[in-house]
Structure 1
Amino acid sequence: MMITLYHAHHSTCSQKVRIALAEKGLEFESKLVDLASKGQLEPEYLKINPNGVVPTLVHDGQPIIDSSVICEYLDEVCPEPPLSGRDAVSRARVRAWMRFLEEVPTYAVRVPSFNRAFLNRFDGLSSEEFVQQQAGPRPLRKHFYLKMSEKGFDKDAVQESVDQLTLTCQRMQRALEKGPWLAGESFSLADVVAAPLIDRTHDLGMSWIWDEDYPLVAGWFDRLQQRPAYAKAMYPGARLSETHQLRALLAEAEQETA
């Protein structure tokens, strides 16, 4: 299989595709996209991904976009080991998890990520300059940036994010009472999609969300980190704390949610 992956080290959506590739044992040509300099908005990249986001997978010359779609595509073209379930009920359970994870925690984790790691990109910008330079050019996430502004997300947005991540952990805890993985006995795309979101939450110093009340989530995260594919996909330099001086900012986390 001739696979090229356009991705970014710390992009959670890129990470889940890298996990899926590693679980399948698939090698790929790596094409890093510099998000800080808006490389995902360059005309050449927009030709293969008009959404202006990462990742994009190109397989035998055909671009496949949207990270969850890419994961499902990989499971279809390389069915072993299966990650979508072996029967209709299992596949439905996996898809339901994927849709929930895309709609709730995927958005929620971006709020503390931007507040604690990316705001320095907007230093010195006025509100008008922020809209023009950051929100305006984005075909898919313009309104996300407009909700944020150059000063970051406000306390209400941060609390909403925490509430959504807590809801995610509540649902994970209930699901994990029935099996070691989110969709049951077998590791699946549900776990692949959840993995970078929980990892990012932990990396942001927010594992207190599950530490006391949702111990099965902590156990799931421990098992996840022991998988060889996970270590391969989450290589050194893939986490924000390793590249964005997050540790100096973690003290602000308690103030945000106080």
Structure 2
Amino acid sequence: MNPTAKLPVFQNGSHVIFDTIEIIQYIERIAVVSVNNDSIAFSSDEVIQWMHKIQEWNPKFFTLSHVPEKYRQAVSKFFRRVLIARMAESPDLAISYQCKLKEAYHTEEKLRDPEVVRRSKEHLIRLLDEIEDSLSKTYIAGEEFSMADVMFIPVLARLALLNLEDEYINSRPNMAKYWSLVQQRPSYKKVIGRYFGGWRKYRTLAKTWCFIRLRNTLKKY
């Protein structure tokens, strides 16, 4: 798997997938066939519908609009250079990386339009409100943790990282309870909490910023 920010790339032999939901469903098929365990099942139609709703919200405009402009430009520049480096490393994926490079330039241009940022915020609010209603149950699609939750948790983690918990999470009772619950899951603690839990997020951000500056200086991406 070759991850880049905003561009999931899954390669299994000659099989290459770029869409997050398609990647998840492909891995599910492999797991069901290879493990042959009744505890493993395909995502239900309801879960897949939620996954699509969550994926429809593109976080890039909302996120970048909350990053100070001087840092935003540095991060965007670094991201473009990473894409260029990946194009050189993986010629067979060069066309896809080139599309993402054009998209990166397009994003920077559109970010200057307040209307774009407003629409992104409104889309997020609609998504949060809809999920708030669904969380009368334990998780998004019912009483069982599902791939819909896996896709949604990073949205909440992003809001927490931007110090927007009170405005977007804690203001919704079901969402606040859900957020507290999922943060106790071992997988969350291992994948996200260990880097962004409490004071750790400042350490992670500082290390990331130093990493970007060092890589830019050495011109290694």
Identify if the C-alpha distance between structure 1 residues 140 and 244 changes in structure 2 by more than 3 Å, giving closer, same or farther.
same
TM, length-normalised to structure 2: 0.66
Question: Counterpart of 2:63?
Answer: 113
Superposition map of 1:186-201 within 5 A: 186-201=144-159
CA-CA distance at 1:173 after TM superposition: 0.8
Taking structure 1 as reference, are residues 114 and 140 closer, same or farther at Cα in structure 2, changes over 3 Å only?
same
Contact 2:183 2:193 in 1 (8 A): no
Measured in 1, the distance between the counterparts of 2:3 and 2:151 equals 16
Alignment of 1:99-110 (within 5 A): 99-104=52-57, 107=58, 109-110=59-60
Give yes or no for the alignment of 1:78 onto 2:31: yes
- For 1:170, the equivalent position in structure 2 comes to 129
The percentage of aligned residue pairs carrying the same residue is 22
1:83–1:197 distance in 2 versus 1, CA, 3 Å? farther
Q: Which residue of 1 aligns with 2:162?
A: 204
Q: Distance in 2 between matches of 1:230 and 1:83?
A: 21
Aligned to 1:146: 106
* C-alpha contact (below 8 Å) 2:9/2:16 kept by paired residues: yes
Matches within 5 A, 1:35-114: 53=7, 55-59=8-12, 62-79=15-32, 81-82=39-40, 84-85=42-43, 91-104=44-57, 107=58, 109-114=59-64
RMSD: 3.5
Residue 148 of structure 1: CA displacement?
A: 2.9
- The letter of the residue matching 2:167 is I
Structure 2 residues not aligned, in runs of 5+: 78-83, 85-96, 207-221
Matched residue pairs, number?
A: 180
Deviation at 1:56, TM superposition (A): 2.4
**Structure (1/2) with the larger helix percentage:** 2
Q: CA deviation at 1:102?
A: 1.0
Higher relative contact order (CA 8 A, sep 6+): 1
Show structure 1 runs of 5+ residues with no match.
14-52, 86-90, 124-132, 246-258
Q: Is the CA contact (8 Å cut-off) linking 1:83 and 1:187 kept in structure 2?
A: no
Residue of structure 2 in register with 1:217 after alignment: 175
Q: 1:210 to 1:112 in 2, by over 3 A?
A: closer
Runs of 4+ aligned residues of structure 1 deviating over 6 Å after TM superposition are none
